[in-house]
Amino acid sequence: MSCDGTVLKMNTTLRDIGRMLGLSATTVSLALRDHPRIPANTKRRVYRVMRQLKYEPDQVARALVIGRSNLVGVIVPNSSDPYYAEVFRGIEDSARSTEYHVLLSNGSYDMNGYAERVREMMGLHVRSIIAAPPFVSERPKLSSPWRELCTSNVQVVLVNRRLDPPIFHQVTADYISGVRMVVEALASRGHRRVAYISGQPAMLPILQRLAAFKRYSRRYGFENDSSLFECSQLDFRGGYEACNRLWTRVGKKKPTAIVAFSDTVAVGALRFIHEKEIKVPEDVSVASFDGIKLSEFTHVGLSTVETPMYEIGKQAFDLLMGSLRGVYSWPQSLVLPVKLLLRESVGPARIMKGIRPVNPSSVAKAAA
Protein backbone atom coordinates (compact mmCIF):
# COMPACT_ATOMS: atom_id res chain seq x y z
CA MET A 1 0.00 0.00 0.00
CA SER A 2 1.33 3.43 -0.93
CA CYS A 3 1.55 6.57 1.20
CA ASP A 4 -1.84 7.76 -0.16
CA GLY A 5 -3.57 4.45 0.45
CA THR A 6 -3.43 3.08 -3.11
CA VAL A 7 -2.59 -0.52 -3.93
CA LEU A 8 -0.47 -1.36 -7.00
CA LYS A 9 -0.76 -4.55 -9.00
CA MET A 10 2.19 -7.02 -9.12
CA ASN A 11 3.56 -5.52 -5.85
CA THR A 12 4.67 -2.35 -7.62
CA THR A 13 5.07 0.62 -5.25
CA LEU A 14 4.97 4.37 -5.76
CA ARG A 15 8.68 4.37 -4.95
CA ASP A 16 9.24 1.98 -7.90
CA ILE A 17 7.39 4.35 -10.23
CA GLY A 18 9.35 7.27 -8.80
CA ARG A 19 12.69 5.52 -9.47
CA MET A 20 11.64 4.86 -13.08
CA LEU A 21 10.89 8.57 -13.57
CA GLY A 22 13.51 10.08 -11.29
CA LEU A 23 10.83 11.37 -8.91
CA SER A 24 10.11 10.94 -5.23
CA ALA A 25 7.20 8.74 -4.05
CA THR A 26 5.57 11.87 -2.61
CA THR A 27 5.65 13.60 -6.01
CA VAL A 28 4.09 10.54 -7.66
CA SER A 29 1.38 10.45 -4.99
CA LEU A 30 0.57 14.14 -5.51
CA ALA A 31 0.50 13.66 -9.29
CA LEU A 32 -2.03 10.82 -8.94
CA ARG A 33 -4.21 13.13 -6.85
CA ASP A 34 -3.95 15.89 -9.52
CA HIS A 35 -2.36 18.29 -7.05
CA PRO A 36 -1.93 21.80 -8.53
CA ARG A 37 1.69 21.94 -7.27
CA ILE A 38 2.73 19.25 -9.75
CA PRO A 39 3.46 20.40 -13.35
CA ALA A 40 1.20 19.04 -16.11
CA ASN A 41 4.08 17.37 -17.98
CA THR A 42 5.08 15.49 -14.79
CA LYS A 43 1.52 14.28 -14.35
CA ARG A 44 1.47 13.02 -17.94
CA ARG A 45 4.70 11.06 -17.38
CA VAL A 46 3.24 9.48 -14.21
CA TYR A 47 -0.01 8.56 -15.94
CA ARG A 48 1.89 7.00 -18.86
CA VAL A 49 3.83 4.70 -16.53
CA MET A 50 0.60 3.88 -14.66
CA ARG A 51 -0.98 2.66 -17.90
CA GLN A 52 2.10 0.61 -18.75
CA LEU A 53 1.94 -1.11 -15.36
CA LYS A 54 -1.88 -1.41 -15.52
CA TYR A 55 -2.06 0.38 -12.23
CA GLU A 56 -5.46 0.60 -10.53
CA PRO A 57 -6.01 2.42 -7.23
CA ASP A 58 -7.81 0.77 -4.31
CA GLN A 59 -10.67 3.25 -3.86
CA VAL A 60 -11.60 2.12 -0.34
CA ALA A 61 -7.99 2.21 0.88
CA ARG A 62 -7.51 5.65 -0.64
CA ALA A 63 -10.69 6.84 1.09
CA LEU A 64 -9.32 5.75 4.46
CA VAL A 65 -6.27 7.95 3.87
CA ILE A 66 -7.84 11.14 2.46
CA GLY A 67 -11.04 10.88 4.54
CA ARG A 68 -13.59 10.75 1.70
CA SER A 69 -14.59 8.44 -1.14
CA ASN A 70 -16.76 8.28 -4.24
CA LEU A 71 -19.09 5.81 -2.54
CA VAL A 72 -22.81 6.46 -2.09
CA GLY A 73 -24.32 4.38 0.70
CA VAL A 74 -27.88 3.13 0.16
CA ILE A 75 -29.69 1.68 3.19
CA VAL A 76 -33.16 0.19 2.75
CA PRO A 77 -35.26 -1.89 5.17
CA ASN A 78 -35.38 -4.92 2.87
CA SER A 79 -33.69 -5.05 -0.54
CA SER A 80 -35.80 -8.08 -1.55
CA ASP A 81 -38.99 -6.02 -1.19
CA PRO A 82 -40.17 -5.28 -4.78
CA TYR A 83 -40.69 -1.63 -3.85
CA TYR A 84 -37.13 -1.00 -2.66
CA ALA A 85 -35.64 -3.21 -5.37
CA GLU A 86 -37.14 -0.85 -7.96
CA VAL A 87 -36.05 2.27 -6.04
CA PHE A 88 -32.50 0.91 -5.90
CA ARG A 89 -32.55 0.20 -9.65
CA GLY A 90 -33.31 3.88 -10.23
CA ILE A 91 -30.43 4.91 -7.97
CA GLU A 92 -27.95 2.51 -9.55
CA ASP A 93 -28.87 3.40 -13.14
CA SER A 94 -28.42 7.10 -12.35
CA ALA A 95 -25.03 6.48 -10.75
CA ARG A 96 -23.65 4.70 -13.85
CA SER A 97 -23.11 7.98 -15.68
CA THR A 98 -21.12 9.47 -12.79
CA GLU A 99 -17.87 8.76 -10.97
CA TYR A 100 -19.80 7.49 -7.94
CA HIS A 101 -20.31 3.87 -6.92
CA VAL A 102 -23.32 2.58 -4.98
CA LEU A 103 -23.01 0.43 -1.87
CA LEU A 104 -26.25 -1.32 -0.81
CA SER A 105 -27.07 -2.43 2.74
CA ASN A 106 -30.17 -3.84 4.45
CA GLY A 107 -31.10 -1.72 7.46
CA SER A 108 -33.98 -3.85 8.80
CA TYR A 109 -37.14 -2.36 10.35
CA ASP A 110 -35.41 -1.67 13.65
CA MET A 111 -33.90 1.71 14.55
CA ASN A 112 -30.94 0.17 16.38
CA GLY A 113 -30.13 -2.12 13.46
CA TYR A 114 -30.51 0.79 11.07
CA ALA A 115 -28.18 2.93 13.17
CA GLU A 116 -25.51 0.23 12.93
CA ARG A 117 -25.73 0.27 9.13
CA VAL A 118 -25.32 4.06 9.15
CA ARG A 119 -22.23 3.79 11.36
CA GLU A 120 -20.77 1.18 9.01
CA MET A 121 -21.31 3.50 6.05
CA MET A 122 -19.66 6.41 7.85
CA GLY A 123 -16.74 4.13 8.71
CA LEU A 124 -16.22 3.62 4.97
CA HIS A 125 -16.09 7.40 4.51
CA VAL A 126 -19.03 7.53 2.12
CA ARG A 127 -19.71 10.97 0.60
CA SER A 128 -23.47 10.57 0.94
CA ILE A 129 -26.28 8.29 2.12
CA ILE A 130 -29.68 7.49 0.61
CA ALA A 131 -31.88 5.86 3.26
CA ALA A 132 -35.40 4.83 4.27
CA PRO A 133 -35.12 4.82 8.07
CA PRO A 134 -37.92 3.35 10.25
CA PHE A 135 -39.07 6.68 11.66
CA VAL A 136 -42.51 6.57 13.29
CA SER A 137 -43.21 10.31 13.37
CA GLU A 138 -43.19 13.21 10.92
CA ARG A 139 -41.09 15.03 13.52
CA PRO A 140 -38.83 12.28 14.86
CA LYS A 141 -36.56 12.75 17.84
CA LEU A 142 -33.19 12.01 16.26
CA SER A 143 -30.85 9.63 18.01
CA SER A 144 -27.19 8.95 17.30
CA PRO A 145 -25.94 8.64 14.55
CA TRP A 146 -28.68 10.67 12.86
CA ARG A 147 -27.73 13.72 14.93
CA GLU A 148 -24.14 13.28 13.79
CA LEU A 149 -25.24 13.23 10.16
CA CYS A 150 -26.96 16.58 10.62
CA THR A 151 -23.65 18.22 11.54
CA SER A 152 -21.34 16.17 9.26
CA ASN A 153 -20.26 16.72 5.67
CA VAL A 154 -22.16 13.58 4.62
CA GLN A 155 -25.13 14.46 2.42
CA VAL A 156 -28.37 12.56 3.18
CA VAL A 157 -31.49 11.94 1.10
CA LEU A 158 -34.50 10.07 2.50
CA VAL A 159 -36.69 7.97 0.19
CA ASN A 160 -40.30 6.99 0.92
CA ARG A 161 -40.24 9.19 4.03
CA ARG A 162 -42.02 12.52 4.36
CA LEU A 163 -40.94 14.50 7.42
CA ASP A 164 -42.65 17.79 8.28
CA PRO A 165 -40.62 19.93 8.29
CA PRO A 166 -37.87 18.10 6.34
CA ILE A 167 -34.63 17.54 8.25
CA PHE A 168 -32.74 15.98 5.35
CA HIS A 169 -33.46 16.07 1.62
CA GLN A 170 -36.39 13.72 0.90
CA VAL A 171 -38.16 12.16 -2.08
CA THR A 172 -41.51 10.42 -1.76
CA ALA A 173 -44.79 9.94 -3.62
CA ASP A 174 -48.15 11.60 -3.03
CA TYR A 175 -49.60 8.70 -1.04
CA ILE A 176 -52.33 10.83 0.50
CA SER A 177 -53.79 11.57 -2.94
CA GLY A 178 -53.46 7.87 -3.73
CA VAL A 179 -55.59 6.95 -0.71
CA ARG A 180 -58.21 9.49 -1.74
CA MET A 181 -58.33 8.00 -5.26
CA VAL A 182 -58.93 4.48 -3.92
CA VAL A 183 -61.62 5.54 -1.44
CA GLU A 184 -63.37 7.66 -4.05
CA ALA A 185 -63.32 4.81 -6.61
CA LEU A 186 -64.85 2.38 -4.11
CA ALA A 187 -67.45 4.86 -2.86
CA SER A 188 -68.59 5.65 -6.40
CA ARG A 189 -69.20 1.91 -6.90
CA GLY A 190 -71.46 1.66 -3.87
CA HIS A 191 -69.00 0.37 -1.28
CA ARG A 192 -69.58 1.40 2.32
CA ARG A 193 -68.35 -1.58 4.34
CA VAL A 194 -64.66 -1.44 3.48
CA ALA A 195 -61.87 -3.21 5.37
CA TYR A 196 -58.29 -1.99 5.61
CA ILE A 197 -55.16 -4.11 6.12
CA SER A 198 -52.34 -1.93 7.42
CA GLY A 199 -48.68 -2.82 7.93
CA GLN A 200 -46.60 -3.97 10.87
CA PRO A 201 -44.15 -2.73 12.09
CA ALA A 202 -45.84 0.67 11.94
CA MET A 203 -43.35 2.99 10.23
CA LEU A 204 -44.09 6.52 9.08
CA PRO A 205 -45.50 5.81 5.56
CA ILE A 206 -47.69 3.05 7.01
CA LEU A 207 -49.06 5.36 9.70
CA GLN A 208 -49.59 8.22 7.24
CA ARG A 209 -51.51 6.00 4.83
CA LEU A 210 -53.68 4.55 7.60
CA ALA A 211 -54.53 8.03 8.92
CA ALA A 212 -55.46 9.16 5.41
CA PHE A 213 -57.69 6.12 4.89
CA LYS A 214 -59.57 6.79 8.13
CA ARG A 215 -59.99 10.45 7.25
CA TYR A 216 -61.35 9.81 3.73
CA SER A 217 -63.49 6.91 4.98
CA ARG A 218 -65.36 9.32 7.24
CA ARG A 219 -65.69 11.85 4.43
CA TYR A 220 -67.17 9.29 2.02
CA GLY A 221 -69.51 7.66 4.52
CA PHE A 222 -67.83 4.27 5.05
CA GLU A 223 -68.92 2.22 8.06
CA ASN A 224 -67.13 3.02 11.31
CA ASP A 225 -66.34 -0.48 12.54
CA SER A 226 -63.04 -1.31 14.28
CA SER A 227 -63.38 -5.00 13.30
CA LEU A 228 -62.69 -3.96 9.68
CA PHE A 229 -59.08 -3.02 10.50
CA GLU A 230 -56.27 -5.55 10.53
CA CYS A 231 -52.44 -5.47 10.54
CA SER A 232 -50.07 -7.53 8.42
CA GLN A 233 -46.37 -8.29 8.33
CA LEU A 234 -44.87 -6.75 5.20
CA ASP A 235 -44.74 -9.86 3.02
CA PHE A 236 -47.00 -12.27 1.10
CA ARG A 237 -47.48 -14.62 4.06
CA GLY A 238 -48.41 -11.67 6.27
CA GLY A 239 -51.13 -10.60 3.83
CA TYR A 240 -52.51 -14.13 3.68
CA GLU A 241 -52.69 -14.48 7.46
CA ALA A 242 -54.07 -10.97 8.02
CA CYS A 243 -56.89 -11.59 5.54
CA ASN A 244 -57.65 -14.89 7.27
CA ARG A 245 -57.95 -13.15 10.65
CA LEU A 246 -60.06 -10.35 9.20
CA TRP A 247 -62.45 -12.65 7.31
CA THR A 248 -62.94 -14.88 10.36
CA ARG A 249 -63.46 -12.04 12.82
CA VAL A 250 -66.18 -10.15 10.93
CA GLY A 251 -68.46 -13.21 10.88
CA LYS A 252 -71.43 -13.02 8.54
CA LYS A 253 -71.18 -9.28 7.95
CA LYS A 254 -68.34 -9.43 5.43
CA PRO A 255 -66.78 -6.33 3.86
CA THR A 256 -67.64 -5.57 0.25
CA ALA A 257 -64.08 -4.34 -0.35
CA ILE A 258 -60.59 -4.74 1.13
CA VAL A 259 -57.86 -2.14 0.80
CA ALA A 260 -54.32 -3.35 1.56
CA PHE A 261 -51.37 -1.18 2.56
CA SER A 262 -49.19 -2.59 -0.25
CA ASP A 263 -49.39 -4.83 -3.30
CA THR A 264 -47.27 -7.44 -1.52
CA VAL A 265 -49.83 -7.67 1.31
CA ALA A 266 -52.70 -7.65 -1.21
CA VAL A 267 -51.23 -10.59 -3.17
CA GLY A 268 -51.18 -12.63 0.04
CA ALA A 269 -54.78 -11.60 0.73
CA LEU A 270 -55.82 -12.61 -2.79
CA ARG A 271 -54.30 -16.05 -2.20
CA PHE A 272 -56.47 -16.56 0.88
CA ILE A 273 -59.57 -15.29 -0.96
CA HIS A 274 -58.89 -17.65 -3.87
CA GLU A 275 -58.45 -20.65 -1.56
CA LYS A 276 -61.80 -19.91 0.11
CA GLU A 277 -63.46 -19.70 -3.34
CA ILE A 278 -64.56 -16.14 -2.72
CA LYS A 279 -65.22 -14.34 -5.99
CA VAL A 280 -63.33 -11.15 -6.84
CA PRO A 281 -64.84 -8.62 -7.42
CA GLU A 282 -68.37 -10.13 -7.22
CA ASP A 283 -68.11 -10.96 -3.50
CA VAL A 284 -65.35 -8.58 -2.49
CA SER A 285 -63.27 -5.96 -4.29
CA VAL A 286 -59.56 -5.64 -3.55
CA ALA A 287 -57.26 -2.63 -4.02
CA SER A 288 -53.80 -1.68 -2.79
CA PHE A 289 -50.77 0.55 -3.32
CA ASP A 290 -47.34 0.56 -5.05
CA GLY A 291 -47.90 -0.83 -8.58
CA ILE A 292 -45.26 -3.57 -8.49
CA LYS A 293 -44.96 -5.77 -11.61
CA LEU A 294 -46.68 -8.71 -9.95
CA SER A 295 -49.92 -6.75 -9.46
CA GLU A 296 -50.61 -6.97 -13.18
CA PHE A 297 -50.24 -10.76 -13.28
CA THR A 298 -52.27 -11.99 -10.29
CA HIS A 299 -55.12 -14.40 -11.20
CA VAL A 300 -57.43 -11.37 -11.03
CA GLY A 301 -55.69 -8.17 -12.11
CA LEU A 302 -55.03 -6.19 -8.92
CA SER A 303 -56.24 -2.59 -8.80
CA THR A 304 -53.46 -0.47 -7.36
CA VAL A 305 -52.12 3.05 -6.93
CA GLU A 306 -49.02 3.10 -9.10
CA THR A 307 -46.05 4.69 -7.34
CA PRO A 308 -43.09 5.93 -9.44
CA MET A 309 -40.59 3.78 -7.54
CA TYR A 310 -37.85 3.92 -10.19
CA GLU A 311 -38.28 7.69 -10.50
CA ILE A 312 -38.03 8.07 -6.70
CA GLY A 313 -34.61 6.39 -6.85
CA LYS A 314 -33.52 8.48 -9.82
CA GLN A 315 -34.66 11.75 -8.28
CA ALA A 316 -33.01 10.83 -4.96
CA PHE A 317 -29.64 10.36 -6.68
CA ASP A 318 -30.02 13.56 -8.73
CA LEU A 319 -30.89 15.46 -5.54
CA LEU A 320 -27.79 14.00 -3.91
CA MET A 321 -25.55 15.15 -6.76
CA GLY A 322 -26.97 18.67 -6.52
CA SER A 323 -26.39 18.63 -2.78
CA LEU A 324 -22.75 17.57 -3.22
CA ARG A 325 -22.27 20.48 -5.65
CA GLY A 326 -23.67 22.88 -3.07
CA VAL A 327 -26.78 23.73 -5.09
CA TYR A 328 -29.12 23.67 -2.07
CA SER A 329 -28.85 25.69 1.12
CA TRP A 330 -31.73 23.93 2.93
CA PRO A 331 -33.43 20.48 2.83
CA GLN A 332 -35.42 19.83 -0.33
CA SER A 333 -38.71 17.87 -0.34
CA LEU A 334 -39.91 16.28 -3.59
CA VAL A 335 -43.39 14.71 -3.76
CA LEU A 336 -44.00 12.77 -6.98
CA PRO A 337 -47.52 12.16 -8.39
CA VAL A 338 -49.23 8.75 -8.31
CA LYS A 339 -51.82 7.13 -10.60
CA LEU A 340 -54.76 4.82 -9.89
CA LEU A 341 -54.81 1.69 -12.05
CA LEU A 342 -58.28 0.15 -11.94
CA ARG A 343 -58.20 -3.50 -12.95
CA GLU A 344 -60.52 -6.50 -12.59
CA SER A 345 -60.25 -6.70 -8.79
CA VAL A 346 -62.56 -3.69 -8.25
CA GLY A 347 -66.25 -3.78 -9.14
CA PRO A 348 -69.66 -2.64 -7.86
CA ALA A 349 -70.52 -3.45 -4.24
CA ARG A 350 -72.82 -6.40 -3.70
CA ILE A 351 -76.17 -5.40 -2.19
CA MET A 352 -76.21 -6.16 1.55
CA LYS A 353 -79.28 -6.27 3.72
CA GLY A 354 -79.71 -2.98 5.57
CA ILE A 355 -76.98 -1.26 3.58
CA ARG A 356 -77.99 1.59 1.30
CA PRO A 357 -75.78 1.99 -1.79
CA VAL A 358 -73.87 5.27 -2.00
CA ASN A 359 -75.36 7.82 -4.36
CA PRO A 360 -72.68 8.82 -6.93
CA SER A 361 -73.74 12.47 -6.56
CA SER A 362 -72.95 12.34 -2.84
CA VAL A 363 -69.43 11.18 -3.71
CA ALA A 364 -68.95 14.24 -5.88
CA LYS A 365 -70.15 16.46 -3.03
CA ALA A 366 -67.75 14.77 -0.58
CA ALA A 367 -64.84 15.41 -2.93
CA ALA A 368 -65.73 19.07 -3.34
Q: Nearest to residue 21, comparing CAs of 4, 52, 42, 38?
A: 42
Segment 203-224 shows an average pLDDT of 96
Mean pLDDT over each residue of the chain, to the nearest integer: 87
Q: Are 115 and 142 in contact (CB under 8 A)?
A: no
| Phi, then psi, of 42 in degrees rounded to 5 | -65, -40
Rg, the chain, Cα only: 27
Domain 175-307+340-367 has CATH 3.40.50.2300: yes
| C-alpha 356: how far from chain center | 40
Query: Where does CATH 1.10.260.40 sit in the chain?
Result: 9-58
Overall CATH class of domain 9-58: mainly alpha
Architecture of the 71-173+310-337 domain: 3-Layer(aba) Sandwich (3.40)
pLDDT in tens, 96-152: 888 888 999 988 788 888 888 888 888 888 889 999 999 999 998 888 888 888 888
pTM of the model as a whole = 0.79
Is the pLDDT at 92 greater than 80? The verdict is: yes
From-to residues of CATH 3.40.50.2300 in the chain: 71-173+310-337, 175-307+340-367
pLDDT tens-digit profile of 38-71?
A: 888 888 888 888 777 766 555 554 544 444 568 8
The one-character DSSP state at 355 is -
Q: Which long-range contacts (CB under 8 A, 24 or more apart) does 50-58 make?
A: 50/17, 53/8, 53/9, 53/10, 53/12, 53/17, 54/9, 55/8, 55/9, 55/12, 55/17, 56/9, 57/6, 57/7, 57/32, 58/1, 58/5, 58/6, 58/7
Convert the pLDDT of each residue in 318-366 to its tens digit.
999 999 888 988 999 999 999 999 999 999 998 754 445 455 455 555 5
pLDDT-wise least confident of 117-131, 190-204, 240-254: 117-131
Mean pLDDT on 160-183: 95
Q: Count the residues in the chain.
A: 368
358 within 8 A of 197, measured Cβ to Cβ: no
